[in-house]
């Protein structure tokens, strides 16, 4: 076992996969000589060389397209978005080129790529360095979406995502990069976390909390506070947003009959809305209260601290919502 930060876990996963499979390469801005804006690819250029660690021009379309085209020709590309917000430049490549390629080639040409980058707020990153628009890709067929919350999951899911034969958009919450530390298995264990499997991070009996990313940590903190008030939260860390693990969610709903979905993205049309709809469709008779959501306001993430605090969800928001739900 090794005790590492969230960021280090991701770095090790990519390193080990590039060692294991010579077809894996990575392309992004400032990832080679500088080791990446956050240092995620420190040492990669020296170890793997410029053909497998490409310092790209400011061309997110080209960065993703190179990964896509190489994947079509048998490689496994990792495309780093310096901030996942910039994926919007290469949106077409993800949604219309990568996502559809398998579909329109009679199943013959899979596109194994991972488009990854730092996401999320709470760091004063403002409009274009704080986004959580995973709903865009949640809504797109042919693309998978992953957002781990703990180092062991980040490690295992990155390995699985690289081995998966489909385009995976991998969100790494920057707030967690260096703040969270945890144990991960040794390289020799070849540990992977399968996509599409949620994990219960805290067992409870009163309310099912479905969440992912940084919000998992917020929910766990809220759970600790509420325990003292006699309210027991069960916290489900989705880990993979798409494919969605409804089985784990529904099993918990049948236990508690009350659901609180927590997500950092703007509330309207977010992933939580779909989860809510599915629970209603598939477990209506198990509900003892309406399904509630705590999410960011329908706004962009502003710069000034009081503004950012207002828009993004807080631990207090989760506590208040849980109290109301428990009393319903």
Nearer to another protein (CB atom), residue 56 or residue 214: 56
Backbone angles phi, psi at 224, to 5 degrees: -60, -45
| Residue from 194, 303, 316, 320 binding another protein (CB under 8 A) | 194
Nearer to another protein (CB atom), residue 96 or residue 224: 96
Give the span between the Cα atoms of 32 and 40, in whole angstroms: 10
Residues 6+ apart with CB under 8 A from 183: 1, 2, 3, 4, 151, 152
- 268: contact with another protein by CB under 8 A: no
Give the span between the Cα atoms of 122 and 103, in whole angstroms: 38
Nearer to another protein (CB atom), residue 47 or residue 104: 104
Structural tokens at position 25: 């390469």
Q: According to CB under 8 A, which residues from 229 to 248 bind another protein?
A: 240, 243, 245
The CA-atom distances, in angstroms, between 70 and each of 17, 77, 109, 282 are 17, 7, 11, 41
Give the span between the Cα atoms of 84 and 208, in whole angstroms: 29
Which of the stretches 5-13, 97-105, 224-232, 259-267 binds another protein when contact is defined by CB under 8 A? 97-105
| Residue from 31, 81, 154, 195 binding another protein (CB under 8 A) | 195
Contact call for residues 202 and 170 (beta carbons, < 8 A): no
Structural tokens at position 257: 């009959």
CB 179, min distance to another protein, A: 28
Q: Which residues are catalytic?
A: 129
- 286: contact with another protein by CB under 8 A: yes
The CA-atom distances, in angstroms, between 246 and each of 97, 196, 253, 274 are 28, 9, 10, 11
Kindly determine how many residues on this chain lie close enough to bind another protein according to the rule CB under 8 A: 64
Contacts with another protein, 41-80, as mask; x by CB under 8 A: ----------xx-x-xx-x-xx--xxxxxxxxxxx-x---
Residue 51 sits at the vertex; the CA angle it makes with 48 and 53, to the nearest 5 degrees, is 55
Which of the stretches 39-47, 122-130, 261-269, 281-289 binds another protein when contact is defined by CB under 8 A? 281-289
Nearer to another protein (CB atom), residue 204 or residue 266: 204
Q: Which residues contact another protein (rule: CB under 8 A)?
A: 22-23, 25, 51-52, 54, 56-57, 59, 61-62, 65-75, 77, 92-93, 96-97, 100-110, 112, 141-142, 144, 160, 163-166, 192, 194-197, 240, 243, 245, 257, 284-289, 327-328
């Amino acid at each position: 076992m090794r005790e590492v930060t969230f960021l280090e876990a991701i770095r090790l996963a990519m390193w080990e996969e590039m060692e294991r499979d010579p077809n894996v390469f990575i392309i992004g801005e400032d990832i080679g000589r500088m080791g990446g804006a956050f240092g995620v690819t420190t040492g990669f250029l020296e170890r793997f060389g410029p053909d497998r660690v490409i310092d790209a021009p400011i061309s997110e379309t080209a960065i993703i397209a190179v990964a896509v085209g190489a994947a079509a020709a048998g490689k496994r590309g990792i495309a780093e978005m310096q901030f996942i917000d910039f994926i919007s430049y290469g949106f077409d490549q993800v949604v219309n080129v990568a996502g559809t390629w398998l579909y329109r080639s009679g199943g013959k040409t899979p596109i194994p790529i991972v488009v990854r980058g730092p996401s999320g707020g709470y760091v004063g990153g403002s409009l274009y360095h704080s986004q959580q628009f995973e709903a865009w890709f949640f809504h797109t067929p042919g693309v998978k979406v992953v957002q781990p919350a703990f180092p062991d999951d980040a490690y295992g899911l990155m390995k699985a995502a690289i081995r998966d034969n489909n385009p995976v958009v991998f969100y790494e919450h920057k707030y967690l990069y260096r703040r969270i530390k945890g144990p991960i298995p040794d390289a020799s264990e070849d540990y992977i976390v399968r996509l599409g499997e949620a994990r219960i991070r805290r067992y409870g009996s009163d309310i099912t909390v479905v969440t992912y990313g940084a919000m998992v940590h917020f929910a766990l903190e809220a759970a600790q506070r509420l325990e003292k008030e006699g309210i027991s939260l069960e916290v489900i860390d989705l880990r993979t947003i798409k494919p969605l693990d409804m089985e784990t969610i529904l099993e918990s709903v049948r236990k508690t009959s009350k659901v609180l979905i927590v997500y950092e993205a703007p509330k309207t049309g977010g992933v939580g809305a779909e989860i809510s709809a599915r629970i209603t469709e598939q477990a209506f008779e198990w509900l003892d209260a309406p399904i509630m959501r705590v999410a960011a306001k329908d706004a962009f993430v502003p710069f000034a601290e009081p503004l950012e605090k207002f828009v993004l969800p807080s631990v207090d928001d989760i506590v208040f919502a849980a109290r109301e739900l428990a009393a319903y």
